[in-house]
Every structure is written in structure tokens, then in C-alpha cells.
Chain A
Amino acid sequence: MANKVKINVTVNGTQYEREVEPRLLLSDFIRKDLGLTGTHVGCEHGLCGACTILMNGQAVRSCTHFAVMADGADIKTVESLGTMDNLHPIQEAFMEKHALQCGFCTPGFLMTAVEYLEGNPNPTDEEAREAIDGNFCRCTGYENIVEAVKLAAKKMADH
């Protein structure tokens, strides 16, 4: 077994110092080592986007990163958004527009959308669709997700 490597990571505002195997995937680190199971893994090869997190503000696929690559990084997962009683505007929008069914892909969509809306607070239909084009959803046909992204933009502007 390879030697473990010490890493320092900030996840959702909490600092963690952990020893990890060099081959440990960032997605597994977040889910298993830190117990933050809101981030889901759908394909393990970077295509479906279910495992999308923010790393230093950028949406990345945690299944194609090793935990050691996150050393020193600031990470945000779906758990950083809202709570059950106090949903984030993007979460509210997903609920209001019925933009989730099984909910497995949803955390990836939320993190992708959060990053996108930060830089593009007023997307058109087409832009909103393009923004989430890299995330897979099997349940919704995407239309309601596009609607939710637009509604979230409006909610965030009103905030």
C-alpha cells in the first residue's frame, strides 16, 4: 500500500487535516472520509456531473480528482447551500419548478448552477440550458431544471 499523504482542506468552511492514500478520489474523500454524502457519484469518469463540487470557486467533478489534488483548496459541497428549513434560492427554485425527481443528480446541478449564476446573474433560456448541459439527469427532461435556473437567478437578484 502506498504511503499516506497529509492534506489540508477547507470544506464548507471547516478545516480538515487528513492523511490519505494518493489514489483516493476526492469524491470518496468527501463522501467517506468526511461523511458529506450529499455529493453523489454517478459514473466515475467525469461525464455525468453528479459529483460536481466547487473547488476554489470553480465547479469541478470530484470523481476525476484525487484528494491530494485538493491540498490547500477551499471546497464547497451541496451541504454548504441551505438547510431544510432555510433553503438557498437555487434550492427553492428547484422545488418550486419541480426540477428534481429522484434527486440523485440534483446536488451536481445545484453546484453547477450556483457557480454559473455567480458570473451570469441574468441568463436567457438558451444560456441557462447551456449552463447545465454538462450534467446528466434521467428523470426530468431538463425543461424544469432550465426553468429553475432562471427562477433562481431572479430570486438571487431580488435577495
Chain B
Amino acid sequence: MAEKNVQKSLKRNEDPRLLVGKTTFIDDIDLPGMLHVAIKRSDYSHGRIVKLDVEEARKLPGVVAIYTAEDLGDYWRPGPLQVPPPTAIKGSVFHARPLECIAKNKVRFSGEPVAVVVAESRYIAEDALDHIILDVETLDYVGDLEKAIEPGAALIHEDLDSNLAADVVQEVGSWEKAVAEADLVVKRRLEVNRVAGGAMENRGFVAQWDENLQVLNCWATTQGPIPMRNSIANYLGLMENQVRLMNPAIGGGFGPKIMSSQIDDVVIPWIAIKLKRPVKWFEDRRENFLGTTSERDQVHYAEIALKKDGTILGVKDVMYHNTGAYNPYGMTVPLNTQTHTVSNYRVPNFFTEIKMVFTNQMVVTPVRGAGRSQGVFVMERLLDAAAKELGMDVVEIRRKNILSPEEFPLRTGVIGQDFVEGVLDNGNYPAALEKTVETIGYEKFKSEIQPKLRAEGKNVGIGICMFTEGTAVGPYEGAKVMVGVTGKVTVFTAYSNQGQGHYTTFAQVAADQLGVNVKDINVVIGDTGQWQWGVGAFASRGMTLVGTAIHNASLKVRQKALGLASKVLNTPEDELEMQDGVVRVADMPEKFVTLGELAQRSNPTRGTVEEGMEPGLEAASYYGPPHGATGYGCLGMIISVDAETAKPKIERLVMTDDCGTPVNPMIVDGQLHGGLQMGIGEAFYENLVYDDYGQLLSASFMDYLFPQASDMPDKFEINHMVTPSPLNPLGIKGVGEAGVIATPACFMQALEDALNIKGMEIVESSISPSKLYHYMEKAKSA
């Protein structure tokens, strides 16, 4: 058998191109005769449009056209919903209000598009924005999640009775029963802040209409090429094959680039067809903050019921989830919160309610972590609060309630973002906890190091938090694997790559079945002209779903190659082996046929073929899991806090993670590092802040603090555990979001422990030196 590629830290195929600057990102696309778009966005957060005057702007030399909602005529229509409502959950209420591509009659958030300028250059298009006059009759701004659904609040969608966008209750067991039996019920109000995806590359879209061929070529930074292609075709009344949507290289995704049916993919193709010239839009950074979706932002009223010995009897959580001005992404984020709240622990009674609320803010859709962080934050903070009240050690209370390996697979009774009941597939959660505790030296820190440091007047504390990472959800992905006449292989997908390393990892999977060098495998990413089926890059599902489809397709190709070779070599299949790009007789390596030759033979140009023959050394396969695969892990942090400035420093960060079989361990570590960085950013630096009128105050990197190199610990100390998922042949689970999920919870736990101030509790997921200082002062005066 040939040497395996899966589980090896191979260097990436895509790196040389990226390193020398010879790859094409969206803004690098420059087509002859191309026009440039700039979008006029509302400065007002809530109001009725009284006047929208574009006449002055139109007169500017170089301006080709300006379009408002009115100019779109019948083409203007809201939606569609990108994610369907949660009809699988009984009694759920969901008021669908999909995005409007351009605001008509009313603006509902500051940053909402009101007009599109098309000009000969981006500079001129931006000049024209200054001459567009938007007058609105302002309406009260709705921003407070709890007040938003009180009677008398201004209505964002006036056809609804209130700003309640959805209400979903799920209950396992009986919370009432848990309370009745409990020795102690701990209640907390917890807040989770709002953060940006913050990809280094902003979003962009290019459209080119070929009038003769009646084909629309599009390039987009989308994480979901097929759904976006379908949305465009549907809007324009074209067949899917008339729209070819391609991903250029994408400079990071992190969630928000999944969105489609927005101004860019709805309006720009329409303009390209209307003007018969290529059109490009590339977002700038301020526009990215204002007009691209972001996430988190929940308020939780959470309770935990326990016995005196720390055994959990039940958890109740009522969350207010901000969906922004519209809810095109369904319930994905808050459902993730529901499925990730109690997922590490044995909780016999669990009540969870989502109150999704419309506000005059940017729409909320997943950002790396996507709802999971919130659930974990709530549970881990509840456990810390309970431990304090019971006088228990924070690790001990977790040990007491953590799920054991024998309990898996465990049906959770909670329906998730894939509309099926969650099932925790497998893993060894206690081992992850102990491994982190041991690596970071928890016992020694608490018994020896911390007392010594405290005696020296130093504030240093430790935090230990668990998490699960629901990954690899359905519905499905697909891929086609083809051996070419050169003997090299192409893997076709319509998945999207934003840096995850798919050009390498997908090739590793195919190479193992085909006996071909990983460097000889070309991976096609995100091109609907080459592959037609798939859903998109979200929920850490690419490696598992596309990887499994590639694995299965490669197996089929392997069978096909062996069958053909058996005839050519006149040898039974079981005496053949595939290696180094050839099929050969295992005992007689000089007797072989190359894969290239087999590919050629598989596509005869004259003569006859056997009945049922399928040409080409190629095969397609699709994979859809019954439910997601669940990764998990444990995070430990030691943080010191400067007593004068309240500035925290992460002295150590230890993470134990289990994502099943790691296809490329180097890339897995990279994913964990990046996730941890975002988690640290969320906990201490990044914050999307709206003022009392709905103006986004942090719309530049001057105000939105991006975590930098010096903000990170010197080293991310990573432990790996490998429990192959039983759900797919390679045993893969996703890993893209693992790093971010537990970080804010662990950060706050360690901060509290560092400061050791009686009564001080951090009840929000983001803290700054000034906030921390405020907490310290408050606690001291209490």
C-alpha cells in the first residue's frame, strides 16, 4: 500500500501562488470596459424616506447611471430567506422578513443601501455619493433588545404587531421539577457583545454579461457559490447554467461572506445586463462595518438548579437574540446557542427559549463560533457562579457533571440548525478536561504558585472552560474526481475556500485512494461552471462533508481504474495496486498501465462500448450526514492583571481539542490558532458599538480594535486528542470554530480569579480596561 497522505502535515499546494502575489482576488479582476459601483447607504438608522434626489449626482462627468429601489421596478423584491424557518420545532413562531436589496420607502438601519452609483471609475462613483440627497422622516431608534419588544416600541416592520421576530421554546425534562428538587438555584443576567467577521479582504462582486452567448459570468467573495448562483438565476429568470459563478481567491470569510440575495448579488448582475458592460463592486472597510452582517449580541436570563454537592439538576435560559433589521438567515445562530448551552454536561432538565428581536441595526448572521460561543459562555459562567455559591472548585464542579464517554452517542433532545435533534456522536470529554488541567498545572498553580504571587501583590488567575463544537451539519456536499489524460487528477467542487487549505487537504484525501502525488491533484473550488452541486462553507463542514464526498468519489474512480486495468493487464483486480500514478501488478511492478492511459481508454473515440459503460475515469459522490459531528475540547488560561492599569496579559494558554481524524495536523493547528485569536479579540478588544440613535461608532480599525500580534500569548499550547467520528469513513469532525468558542468564558473566569475581589463577577463576554476598572471599583465598594 502506498504511503498515506491523510494525517500528514503536508505543506500547502496553494502557498507559492499566494506568496508571490500571483493569484487573483476579487479586486484584482479588471475586465475591458469595466464599470465601478459605489453604494449610497443611509446615515439614518430608522426613518421613512421622504426624498431621494440623485439628479445632481447624475450630472457628474463619468457617472454612467444611478439606480434606486424605484428604478428597479418589478425587479425589486425582498428576499428570499437564505435559511428556512424552524418549522421542525413545535410551537415555534417565526416572522420572516428577508433583506431588501435596496431600501424602499423606509430605512431600517444605518448603512442600509438606498442607491447604487455606476461610474467609469471608483473614484468618480464615490464622488457621486456626496451629491445624493436622502431626506427621511426619522422614527424612533430601536436598539435595546428587551425594550424593543415592549408595547409602544417603534415598529421596524409596521405590518407586525411588535418587533418580536421569532419565539422558539425547547424543553427537555422539566425545569419546574429541577427547581422543586434543587438545593440551590443560581440566576444571572449575561450579555454577549457583537463582533465583526473582520476578514482582511472585504466583500466584492463582479458581473459580466455575454449578450451573444446569453451567459452571465460572476465572480464573488461568497462562501456559498451554489446558493448565490441559484439566487441570481432566480432573480433574473435565467437557467442555472446561464449563470456561472466563480470564487476568485478569497481573503478570509469567517461567516459573513455566506450571505447572498443582498444588494451586490441582486443588483450588480442586473446592472451588468442592462448596461451590457462588466461591473465591479468592492466594499471598503467602513462599508464592511456598516453593511456586512455581524454576530453575537444576545442577552440571557439564565438559571441553574443544583444539589448541594454540585450535581446539576437543570438549566433554564431565556435569551434575547438580536437579529438586526431583518432575519434572512433564519434561526441558525440562536439555535446553535440552544444546542451548545449544556452540551458538555449531564443536565437532565433543560428549558431554553429564544426571543429573536428586530432592531435598527445591521443584520445578524453567523460569525466564526456562530451561537456556540454564547451558549458556552452562559453555561460556563453559570457553573462558575454556582461553584462560588457552593464553595466548590471550578474544576471540581465540571468534573462532577461532565458527560462520560459511555453516554455516547447521546441524543440531546434539542433541535439544532440542521432541523434535527442533536446527537453527540462520541469523544472523551473528561480526558480533555484532565489533559488541560494537567498541562497548565492547575493544582500546583492554585496551591503553590498563586498564593506566592498573591503574597507578592500580583494579580494572576487561572481559568478552565469546556466547550463542544457542533460541526459538519447537513444537508449535503458533493464532489467529482477525474483522472485526466496526463495522469494528473482534478477534484471538482463548488465549495468555497477562504484560507482553510482545501487545495491541499482535498487533494490529500483523493491522493490516498488514487496513488497520485498530492501536488499532481488540482482542486477546483467554487466554480459553478465546473461543478453544480453543494451548499456552502459554514458550520465547519467543508473537510467533513466535501472531504467525505471526495473520498467516496475517489473510491469509485479507483474501482473504475482497477476494472479497466485488470482488462488491460489481464490480471485479476485483487492482484493490482495503485501507486505513483500507475496501476501495476503487485508482484510484478514492471507490468503496469499509467492512469493517463486508462483515462484515455475510458473515453474511446471510435468503435463500440459495452452496455452500461460510463465514460471517463471519473466519478461523483455526495455526502449528507444524519446529523452533525461534534468536536469538543477544554481551554485553560493563566492571566495576570496589572493592578494600576487593569490591563490583562495572557501568561499561558492551553487548549485540548478533539476534531476526530486531522486530515492535515498543521492546518488543524492553524485553524485553532486563528479561532483563539478571534476569541481573545472578542473577550477584550473587538466590539461593535451602536450609539443611542443607532449609529455604529466603531466603523473603522481606529475604533474597532483588531487583535494584533502583541495581544496574543507567546505560545498557543495545543494538546490533541483523536476520537474518529463514527459518522464518516475518515472519522473527520470540523475544527474551524473550536478556538473561538470558550475563549471569552475562560478569559472572564481567569480575570475574576486573578483579581480575587469578593463579589466581583463579570457578566458580559467583552471587557475593556475601563470596564474592568469599573468592575473592580464596584466590587471594592460593595
Q: How many A-B residue pairs have CB under 8 A?
A: 182
A37 with B200: in contact, given A125-B714, A143-B715 (CB under 8 Å)?
no
A37 touching B701 by the CB < 8 A rule?
Answer: no
Whether a CB of chain A sits under 8 angstroms from the CB of B284 is yes
The segment from B102-110, B451-459, B702-710 found at the interface with A is B702-710
Q: Interface with B: A3-11, A114-122, A134-142, which one?
A: A134-142
Residues of chain B with a CB closer than 8 A to A19's CB:
none
Docked-complex contact A141 and B201, CB < 8 angstroms:
no
Which residue of chain B lies nearest to A38 when distances are taken between CB atoms in the complex?
B21
* Residue numbers in A under 8 Å from B61 (CB-CB): 1
**Contact, CB under 8 Å: A84 / B16:** yes
Q: Which of B124-157 contact A (CB under 8 A)?
A: none
Task: Verify B25–A40 contact, CB threshold 8 A.
Answer: yes
Interface status of B198 (Cβ within 8 A of chain A): yes
Contact A106 B18 (CB under 8 A): yes
Q: Which residues of A contact B15 (CB under 8 A)?
A: 94-95, 100, 103
Residue pair A102, B498 in contact (C-beta under 8 Å):
yes
B708 in contact with A133 (CB, 8 Å): yes
Interface size on B, residues (CB 8 A): 59
B20 & A91 in contact (Cβ 8 Å cutoff): yes
| Nearest neighbor of A41 in chain B, beta-carbon distance | B27
Residues of B contacting A41 with CB < 8 Å? 27
Bound-state CA distance A38–B498 (Å) is 17
Known: A23-B123, A32-B30, A104-B251. A79 touches B285 (CB 8 A): no
Q: Which residues of B contact A132 (CB under 8 A)?
A: 709
The answer to whether A105 touches B19 (Cβ under 8 A) is no
Tell me the smallest distance from the CB of B192 to a CB of chain A, in Å. Answer: 20
Asked if A69 is at the interface of the complex by the 8 Å CB criterion, the answer is no
Per the bound structure, the CA–CA distance linking A125 and B710 in Å amounts to 11
Is residue A101 contacting chain B, with contact meaning CB distance below 8 A? yes
Give the residues in chain A near B201, CB-CB below 8 Å.
40, 42, 102, 104
The interface stretch among B553-561, B583-591, B672-680 is B672-680
CB <8 Å contact, B709 and A82: no
Indicate whether A102 sits within 8 Å of B252 (C-beta atoms), given known contacts A84-B20, A87-B16, A139-B499. yes
Pairwise interchain contact A40-B709, C-beta atoms closer than 8 A:
no
Q: Are B499 and A141 in contact (CB under 8 A)?
A: no
A60 at interface, CB cutoff 8 A: no
Q: How far is the CA of A112 from the CA of B337 in the complex (A)?
A: 40
Question: Are A110 and B19 neighbours in the complex by a CB distance under 8 Å?
Answer: yes
- What secondary structure prevails in chain B residues at the interface with A? loop
A14 within 8 A of B: no
- Taking a contact as CB atoms under 8 Å apart, the answer to whether B252 and A87 are in contact is no
Closest to B11 in A: A95
Cα(A88)–Cα(B232), bound, Å = 42
User: B28, A37: Cβ atoms under 8 Å?
Assistant: yes
Nearest A residue to B16 by beta-carbon distance? A84
Chain B: CB-nearest residue to A96: B11
Check A141/B700 contact, CB under 8 A, given A42-B200, A84-B20: no
* In the complex, per-residue mask of B684-710: 1 if CB is within 8 Å of any chain A CB, else 0: 000000000000000011100010111
B20 and A136: CB pair below 8 A? no
Q: Whole-angstrom distance from the CB of B11 to the nearest CB of chain A?
A: 6
A145 at the interface (CB under 8 A from B): yes
Bound state CA distance, A48 and B297, in angstroms?
25
Min CB gap A109→B, angstroms = 10
Residues of B near A145 (CB, < 8 A) are 709
By CB atoms of chain B within 10 A, which of A40, A50, A94, A101 has the most?
A: A101
- Measured CB to CB, the closest approach of chain A to B187, in angstroms, equals 36
Give the nearest-CB partner of B714 in chain A: A125
Centre residue among B14, B254, B709 by max chain A CB count within 10 A: B709
Say whether A141 contacts B251, CB under 8 Å: no
Shortest Cβ gap from A100 to chain B (Å): 6
Among A82, A84, A136, A140, contact of B706 (Cβ-Cβ < 8 Å)? A136
Whether the Cβ atoms of A139 and B12 lie closer than 8 Å is no
Q: Which of B185-244 contact A (CB under 8 A)?
A: 198-202
A129 touching B499 by the CB < 8 A rule? no
Known: A32-B30, A40-B25. A104 touches B670 (CB 8 A): no
| A55 sits at the interface (CB 8 A) | no
Residue interface bits A28-39, CB-to-B below 8 A is 1, else 0:
000110011111
Q: Mark A74-99, 1 if CB is under 8 A from B, else 0.
A: 00011101111001000100111010
Contact in complex: B21, A133 (CB < 8 Å): no
Residue A45 at the chain B interface, CB threshold 8 Å: yes
B486: Cβ under 8 A from any A Cβ: no
Q: How far is the CB of B717 from chain A (nearest CB, A)?
A: 10
Contacts of A137 in B (CB 8 A): 200
Are the C-beta atoms of A48 and B677 separated by less than 8 Å? no
User: Min CB distance, B655 to chain A, in Å?
Assistant: 11
Contacts of B500 in A (CB 8 A): 101
Query: Nearest-CB distance from A8 to chain B (Å)?
Result: 22
Q: Does B716 contact A (CB under 8 A)?
A: yes
> Are B24 and A37 in contact, with the CB atoms below 8 A?
yes
Q: Are A45 and B12 in contact (CB under 8 A)?
A: no
- Starting from the known contacts A42-B251, A44-B284, 16 additional A-B residue pairs (CB-CB under 8 Å) come to A32-B30, A35-B30, A37-B21, A37-B28, A45-B701, A47-B706, A48-B701, A102-B251, A103-B251, A104-B199, A125-B714, A129-B710, A133-B710, A138-B199, A143-B712, A146-B709
Enumerate the 3 nearest inter-chain pairs by beta-carbon distance, A residue then B residue, closest first. Answer: A38-B21, A104-B251, A102-B499
Name 18 A/B residue pairs within 8 A (Cβ), A-sorted: A32-B30, A37-B21, A37-B28, A42-B285, A78-B21, A87-B16, A101-B501, A101-B674, A102-B250, A102-B251, A103-B499, A104-B252, A110-B19, A129-B709, A133-B708, A136-B701, A138-B254, A141-B674
